[in-house]
Chain A
C-alpha cells in the first residue's frame, strides 16, 4: 500500500482551496446548462402546445429520446462521438450543450403543465377586454405559469448540480475532476471525497430549502387564496 501524504493543516487548506476552485466551475456549469435548458425547454413546451401535429410530434420524439438515455451516454456522443467527425467542442461547451439538451426535455414538461394549469378564464377575460391572443399569452398566462414553474425548476436545478459531476468524465475541470487529480497527487482519497461530499451538500441543501420555500409560496392552491 502506498503511503498517503501527511495530513497537515496546510495540506487540508491546499485541498480545500483547489476543491473550491472546482466548485466554482461546477456552479458555472450548472448555471450555464440551466439557461440552455430553460430556453430550449420553453421552446419545446410551445411546440407541444401548438396546433401543428408535426411540431407536436417532433417535440414528443425529442423528449422521449433524451429522457430515456443516460446523460453520460449523451455527453460521450457529443464529446467523443462528434470529435471523430471533426466537430471538436471544448469540454466545457460540450458538457453545457449536453446538460442543456437533456434538461430541455425535463423542463419542457414542467413548462407545459405550468401553462396548462393557468385557468382558461384568464385567457377568455383577456380576449374580452380586447387583448390579442398573443398579448393574453404574454401578459396573463406566462406570468402566472412562471410562478407555478419555479419550484419544479428548483428541483431540476438540484439534480443538475449533482449531474454536473459526470462532466469530470469528459475532462471538465469541475469539482469531481479536481478531486480525482488531487487523489492522484496525494492519495488522500477518503479525506478528499468526504470534502467533496460536504461541498455538494453545502450547495444542494440550501437549494433544496429554497425550493421547499418556493413550493409553499408559489403553489397554485396558495396563491388562489
Chain B
C-alpha cells in the first residue's frame, strides 16, 4: 500500500481522534486549574491541618505515575463499586494529576506577589477576600502564565496515556488503524507529527511569555 493510499484511509479518523485528545486535555486542564487553586490556597493556609493535607495530596499525586493513577481510578475503584467510563476516568485522573502540579505553580505565583500589595489593599479598607480576588490573584496569575502553559503542553502529551485504559484518544485510534492496516511505523510517525503540530507552536508561545516575564523583572 502506498503512503498516499494509507493517508486517504487514516487522515480523517486521526483528525477526529486528535480533536478528542484535545477535548480530554482541555477538560483535565479545567479540573486542574480550579482544583489546583483550591489546593494552593489550602497549602498556604495558616491552619496546619489544612496545609498538611494539601502537602500530602500534592506529594501523593506527584509521586506516582499518571498511568498508575488512571489504573487506580478505572480498575481500582470499579472493584469497590465506583464505576467510571474510560473517558471519565482519563479526564478525572489527568485532571487530578495536573492539579498537583498547578497547585505548586499557583503557590510560586502567589508567593511572588510583594507583601506590600496586600498591606496597601488592607490599608485602604479592603477585606481579605477582596484583596485576594482583586489584588493578589490577578498578579499571581500573570506570573504563573508560562508555567501553566508548560503544564498544558505536558497534559496534551499525557493524554496519550489515556489510551492504555482504552479511552478514545489519538493513540487508541492509532492502535486500531495500525492493526487494521499493518502499517504501525507510518501511522505512529503521522501521530507523532500531529502531536508536534499541536505542541510545538504552544511551546513557542510559552517561551515568548517566559522571555517577556524575564524582561519585566
Contact = CB atoms under 8 A, between A and B. Distances in A.
Interface of A: 4, 64-65, 67-74, 76-77, 80-85, 162-163, 165-166, 168-169, 176, 179, 183, 187-190, 193-194, 196-197, 200-201, 204-205, 208
Contacts of A163: 65
B158 A70 contact: yes
11 contacts: A4-B79, A68-B200, A72-B163, A73-B192, A73-B195, A162-B64, A165-B67, A176-B68, A193-B76, A197-B68, A205-B63
A166 B199 CA distance: 20
B2 to A, nearest CB: 16
B144 to A, nearest CB: 19
**Interface of B (DSSP majority class):** helix
A169 B164 contact: yes
Interface residues of B, number: 43
Which 5 pairs across A and B sit closest by C-beta, in order of nearness?
Answer: A81-B185, A70-B160, A68-B199, A165-B65, A162-B65
Nearest to A169: B164
Given A165-B65, A166-B161, A204-B63, A85 B76 contact: no
A224 B72 CA distance: 46
**Interface of A (DSSP majority class):** helix
A200 B97 CA distance: 15
Contacts of A179: 71
B183 interface: yes
Given A77-B185, A189-B79, A205 B59 contact: yes
Contact of A193 (B72, B153, B159, B160): B72
